[in-house]
Amino acid sequence: MTDVKKRFQQIHHEISTSVSAAQREPQTVQLLAVSKTWPADALREVAALGQRQFGENYLQEALDKIEALADLNLEWHFIGPIQSNKTRDIAGHFDWVQSLDREKIARRLHEHRPDSLAPLNVCIQINIDEEDSKSGTSADNLLTLADYIASLDKLCLRGLMVIPAPKQSVEEEKASFSRAYELFQQLRQKYPQVDTLSMGMSSDMSTAIACGSTMVRIGTALFGQRDKR
């Protein structure tokens, strides 16, 4: 058994254990494999284990991998900060954008989404801990941005994505994740198609699942230590 297969199985075991501990239904939490800086061959190995959803932060690197792995019919999520000049390529090549945080980018993604493709699935990134250095809209602006996205027929609002600030304790992690879950519930009440709360990474996914996450973004625990960027 390869190291990647062992890690893949361990992650799924941890997800299953966390879901059970939270008294949630099986299969209510999806794994997003965060594959930035890893070559296409590494993704192909993980895909052979049954993984279909991959998250990328760097556009040009991602485009190269999307082309190299086109035969696998993978689902590609853009999860990094979005610059205006990158929206055409993102809209044309990705299935999901999880890091949408302002109206200008929503409009440009809508304008550039090809008519031949299904609407682009999007999550609003919330700056849940109000960090000056982090992307994401404020909680106060959430519904305003959601209403704007809902008016664009080439975008499909699916939920929220959060990257909390590093915490010193599980209690602090729970506080941020619980705030995110409350916002997610507010969004679901207004937009019934909303079904995705993307939160939790390698170091905190069990806490995130306990607090209602439906998708955990795992890189290091799956692929190993990344190359430095």
- 218 touches 190 (CB < 8 A): no
- 77 touches 94 (CB < 8 A): yes
**pLDDT digit string, tens, across residues 94-142:** 999 999 999 999 999 999 999 999 999 999 999 999 988 788 999 999 9
Measured CA to CA, the distance from residue 32 to residue 54 in angstroms comes to 6
User: For residue 166, what pLDDT is reported?
Assistant: 87
User: For residue 229, what pLDDT is reported?
Assistant: 47
**pLDDT digit string, tens, across residues 194-211:** 999 999 999 999 999 999
User: For residue 226, what pLDDT is reported?
Assistant: 64
**CATH superfamily to which 3-223 belongs:** Alanine racemase (3.20.20.10)
User: For residue 132, what pLDDT is reported?
Assistant: 83
The residues, any chain, with a CB within 8 Å of residue 164's CB and separated by 6 or more, are: 128, 129, 173, 176, 177, 180, 199, 204
**pLDDT digit string, tens, across residues 70-96:** 999 999 999 999 999 999 999 999 999
Measured CA to CA, the distance from residue 189 to residue 197 in angstroms comes to 14
User: For residue 224, what pLDDT is reported?
Assistant: 86
H helices of 37-86, where? 40-47, 59-68
Which residue in the block uniquely carries the two structure tokens 């937009």?
Answer: 191
Q: Which residues pair with 54 in a beta bridge?
A: 33, 76
Q: Give yes or no for residue 58 having a pLDDT over 60.
A: yes
The number of helix segments (H) and strand segments (E) in the chain equals: 9, 8
- 169 touches 186 (CB < 8 A): no
Q: Which amino acid is at 226?
A: R
SS3 192: coil
**pLDDT digit string, tens, across residues 2-51:** 899 999 999 999 999 999 999 999 899 999 999 999 999 999 999 999 99
1/204: higher pLDDT: 204
The residues, any chain, with a CB within 8 Å of residue 111's CB and separated by 6 or more, are: 87, 91, 154
User: For residue 136, what pLDDT is reported?
Assistant: 95
